[in-house]
A and B are shown apart, each in its own frame.
Chain A
Amino acid sequence: MTTLNIAATDSATMLRRRLRHFIRYPSMTVQLAGMPVIFLLLFVYVFGGTLGDGIGGMSGGRGEYVNYVAPGVILMAVAAVAQGTAISAAMDMTEGIIARFRTMAISRASVLTGHVLAAMLQTLFSVAIVVGVALLVGFRPNASVVEWIALTGVVAMVTFALTWLTVALGLVSQTVEGASNLPLPLVLLPFLGSGFVPTDSMPTGLRWFAEYQPFTPIIETIRGLLVGTHIGNDAIISAAWCAGIALLGYVWAKKLYNRDPSH
């Protein structure tokens, strides 16, 4: 077998291992999907009436607001799984079996790849639930089949990037508590972007941050695919951000995993 073949086989094995963990303890998966659903309901029913009327060009109140907020909540679901991945990676590293993996001739990073691939499936599950609930509360996307497929691709791309980063965060934090706190900004970023209100309603400093932070172009891309707003450069900017974050996360996570545990 070639090195690449071995890497693929071992990563698939590690993915199966993670999926077994999910099946055995489904509460984490359910909880990670539940969090964005609660935010969706909260925003739509508590704030939606007012926000929907206030958003430029809209006048439809709650109904319009569901359409505006769904992309941000989808990204929130991605971020929640990414945060969960930091925690499970940190917990996994305390398991004795990791020491065994290190003494076996397996593709070195495959344990980490297993975490990332499993997180991608977990995200698709979460996003499906979020979209389902959104549809129930009045979300009316006009996406074509191709756009739905593209959306799945975008979600997968973002998850891939963010979870490589959070796997690294999980490895760098010495405790499980640290692993749950470090990625917290990720969950907040959709709020500090165009996820819940348009950025031009924000004060200057915050607006500047909101327009240039990576989640805004990603949200705009998702929004464009779902409800047909203008995407423009946002797709390419999103792809560039994801490539950068994925590379950083991968290199960092691998370096952390490879460090001599005795140092």
Chain B
Amino acid sequence: MNNAIAVTGLRKAFGDNVVLDGIDLDVAAGTIFALLGPNGAGKTTTVQILSTLITADGGQMRVAGHDPDREPDAVRDVIGVTGQFSAVDSLLTGEENLILMADLRHLGKAEGRRRAAELLEQFDLVDAAKKTAATYSGGMRRRLDLAMTLVGDPSIIFLDEPTTGLDPRSRRAMWQVIRQLVAGGVTIMLTTQYLEEADHLADRIAVLDHGTIVAEGSSAELKRLVPGGHIRLQFIDPGHFEAAARIFSENSRDDDSLTLQIPSDGDVGSLKALLDRLERESIKVGELSIHTPDLDDVFLNLTGRPHAEQER
């Protein structure tokens, strides 16, 4: 048994609202698993059940070999959780928060202080160490939150939307931390609404929509599920747009923005052929872009809805 997390048929309803409708997940030890889904998909609910915060209505679960519902303390011993919403004590300073965690993990006074100092350093919180968490910015709170999770070196870590609300630099730093953790043998299950994040980080991705897993696999596997990419041509002159639309009959056109999407896997040969053809017919193109399939396409394809990528 080398799955850190194994779930089959997990169900949960809040009253009449079925939030998880029989989901299956397997997370191999030492890997990053991303649960990807839009608002309300059930990501937080899944994390809360697996991290012993709430109980499931049905299904089999194993976290490090233990059932979160029946042996919660055995699970709590090995997990670390950074929930979607800040879980720091805002009346305590950053350092006191970390030492509180060390005390609750029974690390001993000297070791607790050493670990707290190390994490303050690692998460760039040394200057803020003596300030109460209430005065922290959103990004600092998020970093403190993750630092607190790491006290006691949990072997399985749940991160519920770890980078939501972080600026691009902090997000990259967070990714770096996550990669380091996995390199050190930790198993990570994270949730995200950002396709790019799942694509960058995860060994395996499950797409969750309305409480069911609509697809599961590596990022490459998921991309294979959708038709190939395309070349996008945008025209300035409506006449040229019409002419091009006639030549490349296999296209999808958008008359409003005068753009054509022509199927292509993006290799240089076919690109050159396309450009030559346009040249010969004296068709002027405003803008050209090559589009390889990404997880956005996967999402659109699997759920029939575009993924509403949020502003960052």
Identify the A interface with B (CB < 8 A): 1, 6, 9-10, 13, 16-17, 20-21, 24-25, 95-97, 99-106, 260-262
* Residues on A with beta carbons closer than 8 Å to the beta carbon of B83: 96, 99-100
A105 in complex: contacting residue of B12, B77, B87, CB < 8 Å: B77
Known contacts A17-B89, A96-B87, A261-B54, then 16 further A-B pairs from the complex at CB < 8 Å, ordered by chain A residue: A6-B106, A13-B103, A24-B92, A96-B85, A96-B88, A97-B88, A99-B53, A100-B81, A103-B81, A105-B73, A105-B77, A106-B104, A260-B54, A262-B48, A262-B54, A262-B55
Residues from chain A with a CB closer than 8 A to the CB of B73 are 105
Quick one: which of A17, A24, A104 has the most chain B CB within 10 A? A104
Cβ of B212 < 8 Å from any Cβ of A? no
* Count of B interface residues, CB-CB < 8 Å: 31
Is B182 at the interface (CB under 8 A from chain A)? no
B187 interface hit (Cβ, 8 Å): no
- B91: CB under 8 A from chain A? yes
B79 touches A20 (CB 8 A): no
A10 to B106, CA, bound (A): 9
Judge whether B270 is part of the interface by a CB distance below 8 angstroms: no
Closest B residue, CB atoms, query A9: B106
Return the chain B residue nearest A96 by Cβ. B87
A105-B91 in contact given A13-B104, A20-B96 (Cβ < 8 Å)? no
**Chain B residues positioned under 8 Å from A105 (CB to CB):** 73, 76-77
- A13 in contact with B87 given A6-B106, A24-B132, A99-B53 (CB within 8 Å): no
CB of A103 within 8 A of CB of B76, answer yes
Bound Cα distance from A146 to B211, whole angstroms: 66
C-alpha gap A105/B78 in the complex (Å):
9
Q: Are A100 and B91 in contact (CB under 8 A)?
A: no
**Are A97 and B96 closer than 8 Å at their CB atoms?**
no
Which B residues touch A97, using CB under 8 A?
A: 87-89, 97
Q: Does B100 contact A (CB under 8 A)?
A: yes
Binary A-proximity of B67-99 (CB < 8 A = 1, otherwise 0): 000000100110101010111111110001100
B150 interface hit (Cβ, 8 Å): no
Residues from chain B with Cβ under 8 Å of A17 in the complex: 89, 92, 100
Q: Given A24-B132, A260-B54, is A99 in contact with B87 using a C-beta cutoff of 8 Å?
A: yes
Residues of B near A260 (CB, < 8 A) are 54-55
Greatest chain A CB density within 10 A among B52, B54, B103 is at B103
**A residues less than 8 Å from B87 (CB atoms):** 96-97, 99-100
Contacts of A100 on B, CB cut-off 8 Å?
81, 83, 87, 148
